[in-house]
Amino acid sequence: MQVAFIGLGNMGAPMAINLVKAGHSVKAFDLSAEALERVKAEGGQSAASALEAVQGAEVVISMLPASQHVEGLYLGKDGQSGLLAAIARGALIIDSSTIAASTSQKVAKAAAAAGIDFIDAPVSGGTGGAIAGTLTFMVGGSDAQLARAQPLLEKMGANIFHAGAVGAGQTAKICNNMLLGILMVGTSEAIALGVANGLDPKVLSEIMRRSSGGNWALEKYNPFPGVHENAPASKGYAGGFGTNLMLKDLGLAQENAIATQASTPLGGLARSIYAAHSLSGHGAEDFSSVIKMLQKKA
């Protein structure tokens, strides 16, 4: 299949590479030349612009940071000069970025008017899942649209869920990430407390992993350096899932909670904690670096 892939960051690059490995023809574009090189080195074709990438594409996949990037890409600043005008009628857009459900719905509506299918398909599983091709996809769209996307999603993920109509994938994703943000703060607090009391972080993490506190951070994404060799914490909190991206997701969850008058006290507190962490200069580090806020200084 002829695929255009736009946004080759920590997640997009390994996802695009998995499609190349599965035998698809992938024309990729990112604003960063370095990101483009990574995909080119694995057999992808590099395009000089998003416009060039979508020429002849049957499917366009985007993996961008936030709502404004996705809206800007497809609709353009004035709502008309975006990429939609250059994508072939009958093509399918799979947007895997985590953005506001309302933005997905807005772009989907404009796409439908141009005869293009659009689904939101945000993911979970981290960079490890993106590399291994074991991501969880949360899809918003029709049954027929999901059926079109399925063969490609299967090459990048192990779990594909149909959350509902367009935008529903994003709603599921912000519920999940609100929980993840809270769990990472809680896990960090517990490890910091144990370490302050002289416990070995590896031993304590293993005890909690196999006890009632067990969770994904303790399983594969420990915030304490050296516990999980491949986790960002053991690589100076580089790569992974940026604090600012977690902050964006917790903001989306709070916007939604305000709009629906939902009570999300821990989600709100977690957003404030990551906001303070970002303001102290840790916005570009992986979100598990939030443990630094909670540790005793040497």
What is the contact surface with ligand NAD in residues (CB under 6 A)? 6-12, 29-32, 35, 50, 63-65, 69, 73, 97-98, 123-124, 126-127, 240-241, 245
Catalytic residue among 77, 173, 220, 296: 173
- Quote the least distance from Cβ 15 to ligand NAD, whole Å: 9
Q: How large is the greatest C-alpha to C-alpha distance in the chain, in angstroms?
A: 63
With H, G, I as helix, E, B as strand and everything else as coil, classify residue 237.
coil
- Is there a contact between 129 and 18 (Cβ–Cβ < 8 Å)? no
Alpha-carbon distance of 40 to 5, in angstroms, equals 12
Of residues 156 and 218, the one with the C-beta less far from ligand NAD? 156
64-93-42 Cα angle (round to 5) = 60
- Quote the least distance from Cβ 265 to ligand NAD, whole Å: 23
- Quote the least distance from Cβ 297 to ligand NAD, whole Å: 28
Within 13 Å of residue 37, how many CA atoms lie on the same side as its CB? 3
Q: Phi then psi for 61, rounded to 5 degrees?
A: -115, 135
- Quote the least distance from Cβ 194 to ligand NAD, whole Å: 26
Of residues 45 and 195, the one with the C-beta less far from ligand NAD? 45
Of residues 10 and 264, the one with the C-beta less far from ligand NAD? 10
The residue number with the shortest CB distance to ligand NAD is 9
Alpha-carbon distance of 176 to 124, in angstroms, equals 8
Of residues 203 and 284, the one with the C-beta less far from ligand NAD? 284
Of residues 14 and 201, the one with the C-beta less far from ligand NAD? 14
Residue 40 a catalytic site member: no
- Is there a contact between 13 and 37 (Cβ–Cβ < 8 Å)? no
- Quote the least distance from Cβ 17 to ligand NAD, whole Å: 13
Burial 164-177 (b: 16+ CB within 10 A, else e): eebbbbbbbbbbbb
- Quote the least distance from Cβ 214 to ligand NAD, whole Å: 21
Of residues 110 and 245, the one with the C-beta less far from ligand NAD? 245
Using alpha carbons, select from 34, 31, 18, 42 the residue that is nearest to residue 65. Answer: 31
Alpha-carbon distance of 280 to 40, in angstroms, equals 36
Burial 76-103 (b: 16+ CB within 10 A, else e): eeeeeebbbeebeeebbbbbbbbbbbeb
Q: Which residues are catalytic?
A: 173
